[in-house]
Amino acid sequence: MALVEAYSKRQGLWRQAGDEPVFTSTIELDMESVVASLAGPRRPQDRVALTAVPGAFKATDELALGKRAEQVAQPFELDGETYRLDQGAVVIAAITSCTNTSNANILMAAGLLARNAVKKGLRSKPWVKTSLAPGSKVVTDYLAVSGLTPYLDQLGFNLVGYGCTTLYR
Protein backbone atom coordinates (compact mmCIF):
# COMPACT_ATOMS: atom_id res chain seq x y z
CA MET A 1 0.00 0.00 0.00
CA ALA A 2 2.89 2.33 0.75
CA LEU A 3 4.22 1.82 -2.77
CA VAL A 4 0.81 2.60 -4.33
CA GLU A 5 0.43 5.70 -2.17
CA ALA A 6 3.95 6.93 -3.01
CA TYR A 7 3.42 6.30 -6.72
CA SER A 8 -0.02 7.98 -6.72
CA LYS A 9 1.35 11.07 -4.96
CA ARG A 10 4.26 11.33 -7.36
CA GLN A 11 1.92 11.07 -10.36
CA GLY A 12 -0.46 13.68 -8.95
CA LEU A 13 -3.24 11.11 -8.52
CA TRP A 14 -3.45 11.17 -4.73
CA ARG A 15 -6.37 13.16 -3.36
CA GLN A 16 -7.40 14.18 0.13
CA ALA A 17 -10.43 16.14 1.29
CA GLY A 18 -10.01 19.78 0.19
CA ASP A 19 -7.40 18.79 -2.39
CA GLU A 20 -9.79 18.34 -5.34
CA PRO A 21 -8.41 19.05 -8.81
CA VAL A 22 -9.27 22.25 -10.63
CA PHE A 23 -10.38 21.67 -14.21
CA THR A 24 -9.81 24.27 -16.90
CA SER A 25 -12.70 23.12 -19.08
CA THR A 26 -15.93 21.23 -18.74
CA ILE A 27 -17.62 19.08 -21.34
CA GLU A 28 -21.36 18.49 -21.25
CA LEU A 29 -22.96 15.50 -22.92
CA ASP A 30 -26.65 15.05 -23.59
CA MET A 31 -27.10 11.30 -23.04
CA GLU A 32 -30.13 11.32 -25.33
CA SER A 33 -27.79 12.20 -28.20
CA VAL A 34 -25.84 8.96 -27.71
CA VAL A 35 -26.91 6.31 -30.24
CA ALA A 36 -25.79 2.83 -31.25
CA SER A 37 -23.39 3.00 -34.16
CA LEU A 38 -21.28 0.95 -36.51
CA ALA A 39 -17.62 1.64 -37.27
CA GLY A 40 -14.92 -0.40 -38.89
CA PRO A 41 -11.42 -1.18 -37.73
CA ARG A 42 -9.84 0.61 -40.67
CA ARG A 43 -11.46 4.02 -40.23
CA PRO A 44 -13.31 4.08 -36.91
CA GLN A 45 -13.84 7.82 -37.28
CA ASP A 46 -16.27 7.02 -40.12
CA ARG A 47 -18.90 6.00 -37.60
CA VAL A 48 -22.45 5.52 -38.89
CA ALA A 49 -25.53 5.53 -36.66
CA LEU A 50 -27.05 2.05 -36.68
CA THR A 51 -30.35 3.42 -38.02
CA ALA A 52 -28.44 4.90 -40.99
CA VAL A 53 -26.58 1.72 -41.96
CA PRO A 54 -29.09 0.58 -44.66
CA GLY A 55 -28.89 4.00 -46.29
CA ALA A 56 -25.09 3.96 -46.08
CA PHE A 57 -24.99 0.61 -47.92
CA LYS A 58 -27.31 1.98 -50.60
CA ALA A 59 -25.24 5.18 -50.97
CA THR A 60 -22.04 3.14 -51.28
CA ASP A 61 -23.61 0.98 -53.98
CA GLU A 62 -24.82 4.00 -55.90
CA LEU A 63 -21.41 5.64 -55.63
CA ALA A 64 -19.59 2.48 -56.76
CA LEU A 65 -21.98 1.70 -59.61
CA GLY A 66 -22.79 5.24 -60.65
CA LYS A 67 -26.50 4.43 -60.61
CA ARG A 68 -29.18 3.03 -58.37
CA ALA A 69 -28.00 -0.39 -57.25
CA GLU A 70 -30.35 -3.32 -57.45
CA GLN A 71 -30.44 -5.87 -54.68
CA VAL A 72 -29.22 -9.05 -56.35
CA ALA A 73 -28.88 -12.11 -54.16
CA GLN A 74 -25.91 -14.23 -55.17
CA PRO A 75 -26.60 -17.98 -54.98
CA PHE A 76 -23.81 -20.25 -53.76
CA GLU A 77 -23.38 -23.77 -52.46
CA LEU A 78 -21.84 -24.64 -49.10
CA ASP A 79 -21.64 -28.14 -47.63
CA GLY A 80 -24.22 -29.41 -50.11
CA GLU A 81 -26.76 -26.66 -49.30
CA THR A 82 -27.65 -23.78 -51.61
CA TYR A 83 -27.92 -20.30 -50.11
CA ARG A 84 -28.55 -16.83 -51.48
CA LEU A 85 -26.24 -14.13 -50.21
CA ASP A 86 -27.80 -10.67 -50.29
CA GLN A 87 -25.71 -7.61 -50.95
CA GLY A 88 -24.40 -6.24 -47.65
CA ALA A 89 -24.72 -9.57 -45.86
CA VAL A 90 -22.35 -10.20 -42.95
CA VAL A 91 -19.75 -12.77 -43.93
CA ILE A 92 -17.16 -12.32 -41.20
CA ALA A 93 -17.61 -11.97 -37.44
CA ALA A 94 -14.56 -11.82 -35.20
CA ILE A 95 -14.23 -11.31 -31.48
CA THR A 96 -10.78 -9.87 -30.87
CA SER A 97 -9.07 -7.94 -28.14
CA CYS A 98 -5.71 -7.63 -29.88
CA THR A 99 -3.25 -6.85 -27.10
CA ASN A 100 -5.82 -5.16 -24.86
CA THR A 101 -6.48 -7.98 -22.43
CA SER A 102 -7.00 -5.60 -19.54
CA ASN A 103 -10.43 -4.70 -20.93
CA ALA A 104 -12.00 -7.93 -19.71
CA ASN A 105 -15.52 -6.52 -19.54
CA ILE A 106 -15.78 -6.38 -23.34
CA LEU A 107 -14.81 -10.01 -23.81
CA MET A 108 -17.00 -11.11 -20.91
CA ALA A 109 -19.86 -9.20 -22.54
CA ALA A 110 -19.21 -11.10 -25.78
CA GLY A 111 -19.36 -14.36 -23.85
CA LEU A 112 -22.58 -13.36 -22.09
CA LEU A 113 -24.11 -12.31 -25.40
CA ALA A 114 -23.13 -15.70 -26.86
CA ARG A 115 -24.68 -17.47 -23.85
CA ASN A 116 -27.95 -15.56 -24.25
CA ALA A 117 -28.02 -16.15 -28.01
CA VAL A 118 -27.52 -19.90 -27.58
CA LYS A 119 -30.21 -20.07 -24.90
CA LYS A 120 -32.64 -18.36 -27.31
CA GLY A 121 -31.77 -20.84 -30.06
CA LEU A 122 -29.86 -18.39 -32.24
CA ARG A 123 -27.05 -19.66 -34.45
CA SER A 124 -24.45 -18.13 -36.74
CA LYS A 125 -25.27 -18.38 -40.43
CA PRO A 126 -23.21 -21.15 -42.06
CA TRP A 127 -21.50 -18.75 -44.46
CA VAL A 128 -20.25 -16.41 -41.73
CA LYS A 129 -16.57 -16.91 -40.87
CA THR A 130 -16.49 -16.67 -37.08
CA SER A 131 -13.39 -16.52 -34.90
CA LEU A 132 -12.16 -15.71 -31.41
CA ALA A 133 -8.73 -14.08 -31.21
CA PRO A 134 -8.09 -12.60 -27.76
CA GLY A 135 -4.95 -10.71 -26.86
CA SER A 136 -3.53 -13.35 -24.54
CA LYS A 137 -4.13 -16.69 -22.89
CA VAL A 138 -5.44 -15.02 -19.75
CA VAL A 139 -8.59 -14.13 -21.72
CA THR A 140 -9.27 -17.76 -22.57
CA ASP A 141 -8.66 -18.59 -18.91
CA TYR A 142 -11.29 -16.20 -17.56
CA LEU A 143 -13.78 -17.13 -20.28
CA ALA A 144 -13.30 -20.79 -19.33
CA VAL A 145 -13.55 -20.14 -15.57
CA SER A 146 -16.75 -18.14 -16.13
CA GLY A 147 -18.26 -21.02 -18.10
CA LEU A 148 -18.75 -18.93 -21.25
CA THR A 149 -16.38 -20.75 -23.64
CA PRO A 150 -18.90 -23.48 -24.59
CA TYR A 151 -21.42 -20.85 -25.71
CA LEU A 152 -18.85 -19.07 -27.85
CA ASP A 153 -17.85 -22.45 -29.33
CA GLN A 154 -21.48 -23.32 -30.12
CA LEU A 155 -21.77 -20.15 -32.18
CA GLY A 156 -18.51 -20.92 -34.00
CA PHE A 157 -16.37 -18.43 -32.12
CA ASN A 158 -13.61 -20.95 -31.54
CA LEU A 159 -10.13 -19.89 -30.53
CA VAL A 160 -8.02 -19.29 -33.65
CA GLY A 161 -5.01 -17.63 -32.05
CA TYR A 162 -3.96 -14.68 -29.95
CA GLY A 163 -3.88 -11.10 -31.21
CA CYS A 164 -5.45 -9.23 -34.12
CA THR A 165 -5.92 -12.09 -36.54
CA THR A 166 -9.12 -11.17 -38.41
CA LEU A 167 -9.17 -7.57 -39.56
CA TYR A 168 -10.07 -5.87 -42.82
CA ARG A 169 -7.14 -3.94 -44.25
Inside any domain, residue 155: yes
Based on the domain organization, do 97 and 64 belong to the same domain?
A: no
Q: What's the domain range around 105?
A: 90-169
Based on the domain organization, do 94 and 133 belong to the same domain?
A: yes
Based on the domain organization, do 149 and 95 belong to the same domain?
A: yes
Inside any domain, residue 149: yes
Tens of pLDDT, residue by residue over 104-145, are 788 899 999 999 999 999 999 998 999 998 888 888 899 999
Tens of pLDDT, residue by residue over 27-40, are 999 999 888 888 76
Based on the domain organization, do 102 and 154 belong to the same domain?
A: yes
Inside any domain, residue 63: yes
Inside any domain, residue 23: no
* Residue 48, pLDDT score: 86
Based on the domain organization, do 133 and 109 belong to the same domain?
A: yes
| Global pTM value | 0.61
Inside any domain, residue 58: yes
* Residue 148, pLDDT score: 97
Based on the domain organization, do 56 and 127 belong to the same domain?
A: no
Inside any domain, residue 40: no
3 state SS for the chain: CHHHHHHHHHCCCCCCCCCCCCCCCCCCCCHHHCCCEECCCCCCCCCEEHHHHHHHHHHHHHHHHCCCCCCCCEEEEECCEEEEECCCCCCEEEEECCCCCCCHHHHHHHHHHHHHHHHCCCCCCCCCEEEEECCCHHHHHHHHHCCCHHHHHHCCCCECCCCCCCCCC
Based on the domain organization, do 107 and 165 belong to the same domain?
A: yes
Instruction: Among 38, 69, 85, identify where a domain stops.
Output: 85
Residue 154's domain is classified under what CATH number? 3.30.499.10
The number of distinct structural domains making up the chain is 2
